[in-house]
Structure 1
Amino acid sequence: MAIPLSLLDLAPIASGQSARESFAASIELARVAERTGYQRVWYAEHHNMASIASSATSVLIGYVAAHTDTIRLGAGGIMLPNHSPLLIAEQFGTLASMFGDRIDLGLGRAPGSDQNTMLALRRDNTSADTFPQDVQELQGYLAGKSRIPGVEAVPRAEFPVPLYILGSSLFGAQLAAALGLPYAFASHFAPDALQQAVGVYRDTFRPSAQLASPHVIAGVNVIAADTHDQAVEQMTSAYRARTRAFLTRGPIRRNLTDAEIDEFLASPSGHQLSQMTRYTAVGTAGEVRDYLEAFAKEAGADELITAHHAQSVEDRIHSIELTGAA
């Protein structure tokens, strides 16, 4: 049986590229995913990152939805402690009113940013403490069953927007199970607790009006190309760029050579960073298919959400096409 595939698009801004070009690429990627049978495309809320253009997540979802026809689109995810539940209910109620039953809402509790940016977002270290209650408040608004007397989310779609809990620890797994919601694990960058979290989720899941049985989505990185060597070359380039961006954040910036990047990744300090992308399918379409099938079984996943990291838009599109076809 084929594994349902979805797509995570971080709307990357490559060196020398504008945000407008990144948004145009997001439309192109979503159209390819729609054409090649992917379930959904999700966009992640990140802030103060010069290489990621998906900070205004609901706006980007609406933009892409207006340029596609059938594929589901959503947030993977909205970092709910950055917002009031009412505001997010209004945004996603608007999206669902415009685009019908195509809108997903994945929810996380991390800031999606650094400490200073977290403060600029008007949140503090205690903002995440009410995440479970905030999810339920949001759920009430979207279903027309507000938990706040006299307060309703307007507009509200004719049907509830499906919620997903995102996480990389046991907390999210336990919350998703308790609320009877689908669970998406961020194994594409936080792989360590994957099997344990999925086990907890499945063992403690309680059916809900939205979901009768557990549904696990696992994140995995993908770089597919016509030849194995091309895929490895693209992966090396992409992960060097990722490491360079990580090392040059902040006020002191300098150009790091490829040799310096490779030396860092080979060091004990760089090992943790390189381990974040442990789950990466790289190679030809057949090699990627075999890896994803094995990974889905290992993860206990019902669906995979794939993050394609090739540097050029053309290579990312080709990777999406090859993976979908395989």
Structure 2
Amino acid sequence: MNKTGINKPLSVLDLASVLEGQTPADAFHNSLRLAQHVEKLGYRRFWMAEHHSMISVASSATAVLLGYIAGGTNTIRVGSGGIMLPNHAPLVIAEQFGTLESLYPGRIDLGLGRAPGTDQITACALRRDRMSATNEFPESIQELQHYLSADNTGPVRAVPGEGLDIPIWILGSSTDSAYLAAAMGLPYAFASHFAPAQLHAALKIYRQQFKPSEFLDKPYTMACVNVIAADSDEIANRLATSFYQMFLGVIRGKLRKLPPPVDSMEGMWNEYEAAHMQQMLSCTFIGSQNTVQDKLQQFIDLTQIDEIMATSHIYDQQARLYSYELLKSLFI
């Protein structure tokens, strides 16, 4: 390719997607293989997201799974994208990630979100009598920071965790998270891969209102996007039908595992569903290297994002590895 490469850090978000005909155990092995592959390619981070009660996502015990990934890799940063903090006591997260950082020093990130990562019924099962915890998200982060601080001399101690350098990120899909990340002086990651509507407004708020902190002296932003790259637009568009079918199940409230691709989505969705999906997946880049590079460069120019995190829902695992290989070749 004659084009200049994209000069941005590149990372991965993985959900331990469960394929039709496979089990969560298969998903975990696929995730580790992917992490090892992108580590060799030079990706910066490999993050996994906390979701619950979803047949297609096996990353519910996120900290446990991150230990498996970190133990099977050597250099790539491993983290949560994210831990849904209102589902947990801050002390538990401090201890879990303190354990990870103790085992794999200098490689652990802690991304935090306020959403439950599931439906309200499951959220009730997770939180029991803590359903108001979402409203206490800022206070919970501060409590978590207190446990991780080397200055903690209180009666409650995070061992391990106390005094360790575990970067905390604020994750979000709305402007609320932008205000919080800016006020706390923390790096900010936006979930534009499924909720792009407020991306630009959130980035503007975060940058304008950012207050330097002991953790970060200037704003730092990351956007997660969907990428499916192949040798041609035709091949990539066919691979993408697996993603469309799974996402269609989300829209219809009929969750399913990631299915094999089909030749066409015609007749599988109605006009409203297609339009709704197009809106929700506007930060999705599908095609050949040239197509993906052109669209991704436009996105970066428009957002001035500091780091790109890509997620790729591809049924064929060899094609998924190859997609990440093609994507990395576009970056310096």
Category of TM-score, reference length = shorter chain:
over 0.9
**1:126 counterpart SS class:** helix
1: CA distance, partners of 2:293 / 2:22: 31
Name structure 1 gaps, 5 residues minimum: none
1:221 is aligned, of 219, 226, 231, to 226
Would you say the 8 A contact 2:10–2:43 is kept in 1?
A: yes
1: CA distance, partners of 2:267 / 2:133: 38
Count, aligned residues:
321
User: In the TM superposition, what whole-angstrom CA distance separates every residue of 1:169-205 from its partner, at most 9, and x where no partner exists?
Assistant: 1111011001110000100000000000000000000
2: CA distance, partners of 1:177 / 1:141: 21
Question: Is 1:133 paired with 2:136?
Answer: no
Deviates more, 1:207-216 or 1:154-163: 154-163
Would you say the 8 A contact 2:84–2:114 is kept in 1?
A: yes
| 1:316 aligned partner | 320
Name structure 2 gaps, 5 residues minimum: 1-5
Going from structure 1 to structure 2, the CA distance change for 1:119 and 1:222 (only over 3 Å counts) comes to: same
Note the C-alpha offset of 1:236: 2.2
**2:72 counterpart SS class:** coil
Note the C-alpha offset of 1:325: 1.3
1:28 is aligned, of 28, 33, 37, to 33
1:186 is aligned, of 182, 188, 191, to 191
User: In the TM superposition, what whole-angstrom CA distance separates every residue of 1:228-262 from its partner, at most 9, and x where no partner exists?
Assistant: 11001111232123313553538xxxx9xx79974
Would you say the 8 A contact 1:296–1:303 is kept in 2?
A: no
User: In the TM superposition, what whole-angstrom CA distance separates every residue of 1:60-116 from its partner, at most 9, and x where no partner exists?
Assistant: 100010010000000000000000000000000000000001000000000000011
| 1:166 aligned partner | 171
**1:221 counterpart SS class:** strand
1:305 is aligned, of 302, 309, 312, to 309
1: CA distance, partners of 2:217 / 2:176: 21
Question: Is 1:47 paired with 2:66?
Answer: no
Would you say the 8 A contact 1:264–1:270 is kept in 2?
A: no
Seq. identity, %? 46
| 1:234 aligned partner | 239
2: CA distance, partners of 1:263 / 1:127: 43
Would you say the 8 A contact 1:94–1:157 is kept in 2?
A: no
| 1:284 aligned partner | 288
Question: RMSD across aligned C-alpha pairs, in angstroms?
Answer: 2.2
2: CA distance, partners of 1:182 / 1:163: 7
Would you say the 8 A contact 1:228–1:283 is kept in 2?
A: yes
Going from structure 1 to structure 2, the CA distance change for 1:276 and 1:132 (only over 3 Å counts) comes to: same
What does 1:1-326 align with in structure 2 at a 5 Å threshold? Answer: 2-123=7-128, 125-146=131-152, 149-156=154-161, 159-244=164-249, 246-247=251-252, 249=254, 262-263=266-267, 265-326=269-330
**2:50 counterpart SS class:** coil
Note the C-alpha offset of 1:291: 1.7
Note the C-alpha offset of 1:271: 2.8
Q: Report the TM-score when normalising by structure 2.
A: 0.91
1: CA distance, partners of 2:56 / 2:297: 31
1: CA distance, partners of 2:294 / 2:135: 40
User: In the TM superposition, what whole-angstrom CA distance separates every residue of 1:12-44 from its partner, at most 9, and x where no partner exists?
Assistant: 000110111111111111111111111101000
Would you say the 8 A contact 1:238–1:310 is kept in 2?
A: yes
After the TM superposition, list the runs of 4 or more consecutive aligned residues in structure 1 that deviate by more than 6 angstroms.
Answer: 258-261
The residue type paired with residue 219 of structure 2 is: P
Going from structure 1 to structure 2, the CA distance change for 1:231 and 1:259 (only over 3 Å counts) comes to: closer
Would you say the 8 A contact 2:13–2:47 is kept in 1?
A: yes
1: CA distance, partners of 2:226 / 2:302: 15
Would you say the 8 A contact 2:10–2:308 is kept in 1?
A: yes
**1:290 counterpart SS class:** helix
